[in-house]
Amino acid sequence: MMPFTAILWHDLRMLWSSWLVRLWLIATALLAMIQIMSNWERFQTAPLIAVLLLPYIVFPWSLVVMMLSVNPLSGSRSGVAADGILSRPVTRYAYLLAAWTARVTLVLSVFLVVTVPTIAIVALAERPAPADEVTFYGVAASLAVVGLVLTFLVSVGFLLGTLFRNTLLAIVVLVFLWFPVNLVLNVFSLEEFSPISLTQALPTLLRQPWDETEVAEPEPDVDAAFRDALSFFSSLGGNSNPEPKPEERSFFERGDYEDFSLRRVLLGYGIPTIVSVALATLCFCLRDV
């Protein structure tokens, strides 16, 4: 346990001392502030929170996560790993899992440090946007889901970094796999596998209560009933008004996610995460250091 803890804290200090992490923390805070200011009066609470979470699982912060995750055993790090394993009482498992834990901890820390305060401001402040209630369960579940996607991305990058031993090659392969596959999966609106579809489903999750029976019955739309009756009587009189053009739906209204299942999402991203870490461990244990 001591070698694992020592490697974990050493990697955390090394990662935090890098300018990439510090600039990422500053940039994500600035982007969150810009998103809140520009959409303060436009979006309801749930879509605005989804907008804040979008950069982490789609672009651009997913690219930063890739860069942080692919170098535990590539480049100069491979020599350090070999020296630690051959000359000190450090097992392969301890080194690999400590490096993976350090990157997951760092990524989730940056994510939560920025998003939790901004979500609290959006959810609790009085805004001129239309009323929209989000639940504590929905917010917690959304943060957990995005955190799982980030963990999955770190694990896949970790696996490619272990396989190729070349940081630049691993990043290129991961980018050319991650973004095209996401675009293809988004066509099928599968939030269990596509981060783009998952982002579109976040407003639905944010509004979900802990118990589905707590959802109140929707009140009848009097205006819609009046419009239907007026249209009916107009058709009897021979006056047919041209149908209005359908309004262009926003990004968060392009899919039907009323059957959203948190369990399916957790399984869809959790199982590949475990498989990626297991394959990276197996690959590292079978090869020469």
- Which positions ≥6 away from 267 have C-beta within 8 Å? 192
Contact between residue 94 and residue 4 where contact means Cβ atoms under 8 Å apart: yes
Tell which wins on pLDDT, 49 or 2: 49
Distance between CA atoms of 254 and 197, rounded to whole angstroms?
9
Report the domain count for the chain.
1
Is residue 70 in some structural domain?
yes
User: Which residue range(s) make up the domain with 83?
Assistant: 2-213+251-286
Is residue 143 in some structural domain?
yes
Say what the pLDDT of residue 85 is: 46
Is residue 261 in some structural domain?
yes
Is residue 36 in some structural domain?
yes
Is residue 230 in some structural domain?
no
> pLDDT tens, 155-206?
999 898 888 877 888 888 888 888 888 888 878 777 778 888 888 889 989 9
Is residue 199 in some structural domain?
yes
First CA to last CA across the chain, in angstroms?
22
pLDDT(133) > 90: no
Is residue 98 in some structural domain?
yes
Kindly report the pTM of this predicted structure. Answer: 0.81
Say what the pLDDT of residue 151 is: 96
Say what the pLDDT of residue 285 is: 77
How sure is the predictor about 232, in pLDDT bands with cuts at 50, 70 and 90?
very low
> pLDDT tens, 18-70?
888 999 999 999 999 999 999 888 888 999 999 999 999 888 899 999 988 88
Is residue 228 in some structural domain?
no
